[in-house]
Amino acid sequence: MPQLGETVSEGTVTTWHKKPGDKVKKDELLLEIATDKVEMEIPAPADGVVGALLVEPGTTVPVGTRLTVIDDGKGAPPPMPDASAESTTAVAAIATAQPTPAAGNAKLSPVVRKLLAENNLKPEDVAGTGDGGRITREDVLTAIDTKAQHQIRAPGQNADERVPFTHRRKVIAEHMVRSLATSAHVVQAIEVDFAAIEVLRLQSKLSYLPYIARALCLAIHAYPKVNATIEGETLVVHKRINLSIAVDLDHEGLMTPVIKDADKLDVVALGHAIQDLAAKARANKLMPDETTEGTYTISNSGSYGTLFTASIINQPQVAILSSDGVKRRPVAIETPNGEAIAIRPVGVLAQSFDHRAFDGAYSAAFLKKLKELLEAGAL
């Protein structure tokens, strides 16, 4: 069972996509797991033959528990069930516990089955676009949307819609409430003139986010306590800067994949890393180590033109930065001839921080440094 988050100690096997004796290729889908934070498809780590499935679907086990063994032909063969009646029964139980594929479709994932059940849909009601016609989560969501549109158009359909929380929605809700109950949240914000970044951004064809991420890393070097976690009555200040990037999953939840050692990357590399992780998150292709060890989080609502966002801290971190919309506004500037009014691209950066870790003056100094770096374009 892989480690899928700093505070995650266990995971649940939801679906096996291979059975004992099956051949598997490296990176081919092997199984699906779920934790209190994420649902994830786990690929095979090597080519070989799958041994006994040591953990049945629906079973929750600690991180590090062996789930199966793949014989790559380089060592001892993987454990396989013996011919005893007891072993045969155990294998049959495992097979029975696994979801049965719908006729004409590849095996359905737990997420797909849950969505189908919650919305009174059958597999045959959904057109599968996955490999071999497999029904994906996006296929079901499309079918749900189509069904909803038909209901809206139907006469006399005025009853309120009741939408049960998905597993991901439940996890996010629990995480947010727990964060508010754990940390002493305080929010501070600062206006930034992005004129210098606008010039650089247009040349590089990047969004504002990579520049903000780069400036953030430099500001953390000056004010390292924002890059920390709390353990008991101790503030653990991290030497590595691992940026968690909040990624919207097409309005169906969010994930926070992590850019490890982000301060060692330049703006262009950061831009590529952000795009790569966001694409993987939306395609459910993140690897386990791409979701762990985050030390500071950036949440970006700017593409929607938001003015100000007070984000909830991503536990166990002590701070999170919200990057909101950059808009052209009239501002007072200093010129050789005195003050003047100019049109500049201006945006708000807001930091939510845990008052247990440091005080408002420290947070304000950090934001001031961040502002100075961005307005100078010194990245």
Give catalytic residue positions.
Answer: 355, 359
Spell out where the chain has E strands: 10-16, 23-24, 29-34, 39-43, 48-50, 60-62, 70-71, 185-193, 228-231, 234-237, 243-245, 247-248, 254-255, 258-259, 296-300, 319-335, 338-354
From 5, 65, 73, select the one nearest 31 (Cα to Cα): 65
What's the CA gap between 270 and 282, in Å, rounded?
18
Instruction: Compute the distance between CA of residue 130 and CA of residue 348 in angstroms, rounded to an integer.
Output: 41
| Encoded amino acid at 160, one letter | D
Residue with tokens 């490999």: 131
- Residue 190, classed as helix, strand or coil, is strand
Q: How far apart are CA 8 and CA 316, in angstroms?
A: 11
Write b or e for each residue in 36-56: b if 16 or more Cβ atoms lie within 10 A of its Cβ, otherwise e. Answer: bbbbbbbbbeeebbbbbbbbb
- Measured distance CA(199)–CA(207) in Å, rounded: 11
Q: Are 70 and 50 in contact (CB under 8 A)?
A: yes
Query: Are the CB atoms for 312 and 328 separated by under 8 Å?
Result: no
